[in-house]
Amino acid sequence: MLNRRELIQTTALTGAAALVATGPSSNAHAHDRQASQPPKDWKVKNGRIRQSVMGWCLKPIAGPELAKHCKAMGLVAMEGISAKDYPAVRKLGLGISLVGSHGFKKGPCDSANKDFCVERLTKGIDLAAEIGSPSVITFTGMRAKGKTDAQQDAACVDAWKAVIKHAESKKINLVLEHLNSRDGSHPMKGHPGYYGDHVDHCVDLIKKVGSPNMKLLFDVYHVQIMDGDVIRRINQHKDVIGHYHTAGNPGRGELDAHQEINYPAVMRAIVATGYKGYVAQEFIPTWEDKVASLRHGAWVCDV
């Protein structure tokens, strides 16, 4: 029998021996990454998650070239790509999972932007209906100087109500994305100053619009940073979720074992809610082989 001090000493010695045996942590990291990748001919098998990809993340691979890789690995849609590439992507049998609108900076929380946002959302709704996409993305925008939270909430709801009947008539969803305001290290890893930075707040705004076509874009990465408790929130808000995005945290990198979100568990929770929409990969690859990064993300999410 070992006493507590002897047990600690034994554990420390064992750990040191293991460290010597495995070598530097960077080598172990590289080995783990190589060992945990699917083969190059891997393709989605289960398909319980309808996977898409946000095209901007994979640049310079883009448009039809990226679409061919997506098709080969069993993804079913793309988004965040140029509208001029829609015909080529659709010709390959892929859907367009989401259509853009007014962007995340100039949003309706500033009432001065209402006409701009309504115009862009209306065009997005018409395009989505034309190409068979289910959703158009919207954002609150950056905080409006000199405006109270109540004023900004009212401005958002007013703008969305101005277009929601048109969305309903076209059978298109507006999906509101919350973004984290915490990470200021990179222009696409976080958005300091963004108004709708807490997911529960965004859900409150959605409910104030009062339409079945006003939905939440649940970005797992942003939720983890700002609010956490991801799986509980998925279940809490399942009735208003219309779209999902992924990325590893911290860093918005791959969905590998070197980040903190347990993506297989998250995907199983999504499946359990009965969700039938799209889950788009929106991580920024750090691996040299960007296609391998995307294939790995699809593999992790194919629960």
Name the residue type at position 7.
L
User: What does the alpha-carbon distance between residue 300 and residue 185 come to, in Å, rounded to a whole number?
Assistant: 26
Task: Give the tens place of pLDDT for each residue, 118-161.
Answer: 999 999 999 999 999 999 999 999 999 999 999 999 999 999 99
Task: Give the pLDDT of residue 5.
Answer: 52
Report all structural domains of the chain as residue ranges with CATH numbers, in order of start: 46-301 (3.20.20.150)
Residue 144: closest CA among 153, 135, 133, 131: 153
Residue 28: Cβ within 10 Å count: 12
Average pLDDT rounded to a whole number, residues 65-91:
97
Q: Which helix (H) or strand (E) holds 214?
A: strand 214-219
pLDDT band at 15 (very low <50, low <70, confident <90, very high): very low
pLDDT at 30 over 60: no
Query: Region 262-267: what's the mean pLDDT?
Result: 98
Tokens of 251: 């860093």
d(CA 196, CA 206): 11
Closest CA relative to residue 193, chosen from 111, 128, 110: 110
pLDDT at 137: 98
Per-residue confidence (pLDDT) for residue 24, from 0 to 100: 35
- What was the pLDDT predicted at 135? 98
> Residue 61 has what pLDDT?
95
CA distance linking residue 180 with residue 40, whole number of Å? 34
Confidence of residue 36 (pLDDT cuts 50, 70, 90): confident
Q: 10 pLDDT exceeds 90?
A: no
Query: 0.85 cut: is pTM over it?
Result: yes
Q: Answer whether residue 97 shows pLDDT above 70.
A: yes
Structure tokens at 267: 């995907």
CB proximity list for 27: less than 8 A, separation 6 or greater: none
- Note the pLDDT tens digit of each residue in 196-228: 999 999 999 999 999 999 999 999 999 999 999
Tell me the three state secondary structure of residue 278. strand
For position 3, what pLDDT does the model report?
A: 57
**pLDDT for res 71:** 98
Both tokens assigned to 92? 């390959």
7, pLDDT greater than 90: no
